[in-house]
Amino acid sequence: MTNTGMTHTLVTFLGKGREDPRTGYRETTYRFPDGSQETTHFFGLALAGHLEPDRLVVLGTARSMWGALVEHVAAGGEEENARLALIDAEEAGTVDQLLLDRLSGVLRRAVGRDVMPRLIPFGATPEEQRDILQTIAAVAGEGEVSFDLTHGFRHLGMVGMLSAFMLERIGRLKVRSLWYGALDMTARDTGITPVLQLDGLNAIQRWIGALDRFDASGDYGVFAPLLEADGVPRDKARCLEEAAFFERSFNLGDAARRLRTFAEVVRRPLPGASGLFQARLAERLAWIAEPDLAAQQRALAQQYLERADFVRAAQFAWEALVTGACKGYDPYDRLAREATQKALDAKFKGSEPYTRLKYLRNALAHGTPPGDECVRWLLRSSDRLRAALGEAMRCLLP
């Protein structure tokens, strides 16, 4: 398996098997995506052998078949008293963490790596579901994590998948893979059960998260690693990161050039999960198709206003107004812009939308309290500020 140099943890769930009162789950032959096969009662153990993680975390309730798992791997006479106590506690539904800790050495010897058995609640209430997520976050630590979503209550698979997404978002772990032993897909003729790798679902969730982050920040760079993972060349994906830098430093010329280079990619069908979000990505690059710099600035002002980034909305709206008025002059020339701004001051003297946009832009850019009481009043409410900027843009940038 892939060795990234980071600690790799496999998290698996232990349910309450009914097929065999002694072994719990029925013996099944699993076929992995690479064609290898293993016959076992416990898919999580087979998956651990296949992935070779640094440690295995086994999650189960007080009624899970902990006894069957330990008996499956224990040597004769090994921790016999603890094993008997575990079997009695499982029947009574009173398994506790201290008892599981006594038997972790048995599991570690049998599996050949650190094994962390952990009790979790049934997940019947929102509070219990949060407890499960917190338990997984606590034991997974840092590095990479894979999830086996096969066993346990059906809803625990959903909790496990949500855990994967949560752990990536809080930035402590990278989810390497999601796995499912598809017993309901067992072939009738061979009796072989396929093992499904569900990484496509994780890729989709990463795209959803990236779209959310972009809509909040306007940073195109959040898409770059996802596109690279689906095979987009690094130099093309890097154009998004560079465009984000240039746009956020108000250098639209270089930002647009980088995005036009990347736009060649989205003119063809994108591979993998990226293809599902291709149209949404293209929408977020649409401003580069505007006919001139003023129109591009106006389009970005509107986008930033919609995501409540009032500083950039006011800045781009003001620059669009000045750029549009630079008739016959180079809109990138500083002296031309200064002369144009003076002409605008004379043209719109007494114009409330113009004065409001100018004062708001200055106040937001410099972070100093404006002298105008009306502008101070607008800055004390996001709703009032949004409405004022929107009205000024409608009047000055039709």
Co-location of 98 and 244 in the same domain: no
Given a contact cutoff of 8 angstroms between Cβ atoms, the answer to whether 159 and 126 are in contact is no
Name beta bridge partners: 31. 37, 194
Co-location of 156 and 13 in the same domain: yes
pLDDT tens-place string over residues 310-325: 999 999 999 999 999 9
pLDDT tens-place string over residues 280-305: 888 889 999 999 999 999 999 999 99
How many domains, in total, are found in the chain?
A: 3
The answer to whether residue 1 is domain-embedded is: no
| Cα dihedral 143, 147, 153, 159 sign | positive
Question: What domain range is 151 assigned to?
Answer: 8-197
Per cent of the chain over pLDDT 90 is 54
Residue ending a domain, among 174, 197, 220, is 197
Average pLDDT over residues 67-73: 87
- pLDDT tops 70 at residue 389: yes
How is residue 19 written in tokens?
A: 């097929």
CATH code assigned at 129: 3.40.50.10640
Co-location of 391 and 309 in the same domain: yes
Co-location of 123 and 268 in the same domain: no
The answer to whether residue 37 is domain-embedded is: yes
The answer to whether residue 380 is domain-embedded is: yes
What phi and psi, each to the nearest 5 degrees, are found at residue 222? -65, -20
Name beta bridge partners: 13. 59
Q: Report the alpha-carbon distance of residue 99 to residue 167 in Å, rounded.
A: 28
- pLDDT tops 70 at residue 58: yes
Co-location of 181 and 327 in the same domain: no
- pLDDT tops 70 at residue 3: no
Single-letter code of the amino acid located at 68? A
- pLDDT tops 70 at residue 251: yes
Co-location of 174 and 36 in the same domain: yes
Q: Please name which of 194, 226, 195, 198 lies closest in space to residue 210, comparing C-alpha atoms.
A: 226
What phi and psi, each to the nearest 5 degrees, are found at residue 28? -140, 145
Residue ending a domain, among 289, 313, 335, is 289
The answer to whether residue 328 is domain-embedded is: yes
- pLDDT tops 80 at residue 154: no
Q: Please name which of 264, 358, 255, 261 lies closest in space to residue 299, comparing C-alpha atoms.
A: 255
- pLDDT tops 70 at residue 20: no
Co-location of 386 and 355 in the same domain: yes
Give the per-residue pLDDT at 353: 94
The answer to whether residue 203 is domain-embedded is: no
Give the per-residue pLDDT at 43: 92
Residue ending a domain, among 228, 259, 289, is 289
